[in-house]
Chains A and B, each alone.
Chain A
């Protein structure tokens, strides 16, 4: 099917891109990971479109006048907290000649002043000062009709949910609560159940398109096959229980897994013959995994388009995906615990951080997996990948061997960008919601 990507009304048009996308949403054309025109279109229609973008934890800006510089898509922005404690966000680009106004990653200050000609802005991004505006020594200054109020920094919609800050370029965007939906909110409520405290950051720079990572975080199929740490040390079986919850539109997902009984796992597993079954190694120092019971199993929650919330053992982190061009993205991990953690719990989280992040024993390979896709697809942009594991439905499932979350991502992506494609089958019954996960 030949379709045109300029189908979204009321948006500034970028050069339309023609893209062949099979009717089947379980087929993904490689072009979407490679074409600079599609990348530009995404920046305009998706990141600046009717969605919420994660930008920070409230715990990163605890005090009045704190700020954090980050990105929405590849647009630099600043999130601030004003003197009254309210959150604001604006595009980090001076109204004068376009310089970056805020040049530090984080800090605290009452106003933001551009170093180039010292135009200054308040914590909402309003222009409050223009040097020599009225002229100097008889020189005329800015024209009479120049109005500071019309020349502020571009201000974004800001909303927070349970300490997670999101922004949107679109004033018409649905409320954040609606955007997340009840199942995703329930999942966030489990983790963000009380005040959190930031424990550290880690950054990974990956040579692949950002959407390959959006697929990865919605893909429980790879978990026991790519990540061999647990299986190598005899701590995980792919027969373990779990499933995936999707929101009503399929754009967000939450993967859960939990252990069945040991015996049950072993019999199921020994009947298969995968390289993931090895039991000859044991940890020389098992203290790594001696955590505290806190949450059952593991949760990887992917909020469209750029946020991942993870709970693996006692490690808690948010991961922010920042596109850095067609074939690069950065992944910023912010590890956190709770304000009321005791010293022992803090020590557990510190030690278990070994499991995740750029050097994570159980998950360091996710970024690399996206890179080996990027390295191999370049020459055949109209060829497609297959995301049909578990069928063609887009719905929650009580199975980890599924690509339903990936199909949900692409269906919503196509809808946002106005790419036609046949409707996928929506499974009406048997949807696996967060409620029936929580009740087990």
Chain B
């Protein structure tokens, strides 16, 4: 794969990933990851201090699936949808089929509950630090570190970023 093809594959993966979340197809979300994998939503505040606690930390597809089942069946929250904006997508490394990539993201949250129906607000700003591998030609995240600038989470975080 040459550099242009690689960049295209990374962009396609990221775009497909955010479309999956934004269109509420969360049951498909774990398939964007290898198994095992690391999915981590880490406040930059902690990362900067070298502290290990993230607000979400999953190390298998099973854990990602459990998150989705919990969201659908167990957690109570104001119904909402996301809209991701991606920018500055870039491949930062490529060695032995393991690709490192970065991208900025912004997530707007739109409420779908009775009180705030249709209200959109800026919910989260941050950066994806991704490690991507190809399994039978399919690009997947082996690691997705969501480094969150917006450490102060509005109400709660249930839908993955």
Choose one: A350, A354, A367; the contact of B155 (CB below 8 Å): A367
Chain A: how many interface residues by the 8 Å CB criterion?
42
Beyond contacts A228-B74, A281-B73, A350-B53: 6 other A-B pairs, Cβ-Cβ < 8 A, are A199-B53, A201-B53, A229-B70, A285-B60, A285-B65, A354-B56
Smallest distance from the beta carbon of B93 to chain A beta carbons, Å? Answer: 25
Q: How far is the CA of A148 from the CA of B46 in the complex (A)?
A: 39
Q: Chain B 132-160, CB within 8 Å of chain A: the 1/0 string?
A: 00000000000000000001111111100
Asked whether A357 is an interface residue with its Cβ less than 8 Å from the other chain, the reply is yes
Q: Chain A 288-329, CB within 8 Å of chain B: the 1/0 string?
A: 100000000000000000000000000000000000000000
Asked whether B63 is an interface residue with its Cβ less than 8 Å from the other chain, the reply is yes
B interface residues (Cβ-Cβ under 8 A, vs A): 41, 43, 45-46, 51-63, 65-67, 69-70, 73-78, 115, 151-158
A226 to chain B: which residues have CB within 8 Å? 76
Decide yes or no: A368 and B76 within 8 Å by CB, A201-B43, A351-B57, A361-B70 being known contacts: yes
Smallest distance from the beta carbon of B23 to chain A beta carbons, Å? Answer: 21
Asked if A202 and B153 make an inter-chain contact with CB atoms under 8 angstroms apart, the answer reads yes
Decide yes or no: A364 and B77 within 8 Å by CB, A200-B54, A202-B43, A353-B57 being known contacts: yes
Asked whether A283 is an interface residue with its Cβ less than 8 Å from the other chain, the reply is yes
Decide yes or no: A365 and B153 within 8 Å by CB, A284-B66, A285-B66, A350-B57 being known contacts: no
Q: Chain A 347-362, CB within 8 Å of chain B: the 1/0 string?
A: 0011101100111010
Asked if A367 and B52 make an inter-chain contact with CB atoms under 8 angstroms apart, the answer reads no
Asked if B153 and A204 make an inter-chain contact with CB atoms under 8 angstroms apart, the answer reads yes
Q: Chain A 32-60, CB within 8 Å of chain B: the 1/0 string?
A: 00000000000000000000000000000
Tell me which of B53, B59, B60, B67 has the highest count of chain A C-beta atoms within 10 A of its own C-beta.
B53
Q: How far is the CA of A354 from the CA of B82 in the complex (A)?
A: 21
Asked if B53 and A202 make an inter-chain contact with CB atoms under 8 angstroms apart, the answer reads yes
Closest to A284 in B: B62
Asked whether A206 is an interface residue with its Cβ less than 8 Å from the other chain, the reply is yes
14 cross-chain CB contacts under 8 A: A200-B46, A200-B51, A201-B46, A202-B151, A226-B76, A232-B70, A284-B65, A346-B52, A354-B58, A359-B156, A359-B157, A361-B74, A364-B157, A367-B156
B43 to chain A: which residues have CB within 8 Å? 200-203
Smallest distance from the beta carbon of A407 to chain B beta carbons, Å? Answer: 25
Asked whether A382 is an interface residue with its Cβ less than 8 Å from the other chain, the reply is no
Tell me which of A202, A206, A353, A365 has the highest count of chain B C-beta atoms within 10 A of its own C-beta.
A202
Asked if B74 and A201 make an inter-chain contact with CB atoms under 8 angstroms apart, the answer reads no
Closest to B77 in A: A368
Smallest distance from the beta carbon of B41 to chain A beta carbons, Å? Answer: 7
Asked if A281 and B115 make an inter-chain contact with CB atoms under 8 angstroms apart, the answer reads no
Closest to A371 in B: B155
Asked if A204 and B57 make an inter-chain contact with CB atoms under 8 angstroms apart, the answer reads no
A229 to chain B: which residues have CB within 8 Å? 70, 74-75
Asked if B155 and A368 make an inter-chain contact with CB atoms under 8 angstroms apart, the answer reads yes
B65 to chain A: which residues have CB within 8 Å? 284-285
Closest to A200 in B: B53
Smallest distance from the beta carbon of A328 to chain B beta carbons, Å? Answer: 10
A287 to chain B: which residues have CB within 8 Å? 59-60, 63
Q: How far is the CA of A200 from the CA of B41 in the complex (A)?
A: 13
B153 to chain A: which residues have CB within 8 Å? 202-205, 358-359
Decide yes or no: A351 and B70 within 8 Å by CB, A204-B153, A364-B75 being known contacts: no
Choose one: B61, B78, B156; the contact of A358 (CB below 8 Å): B156
Closest to A351 in B: B57
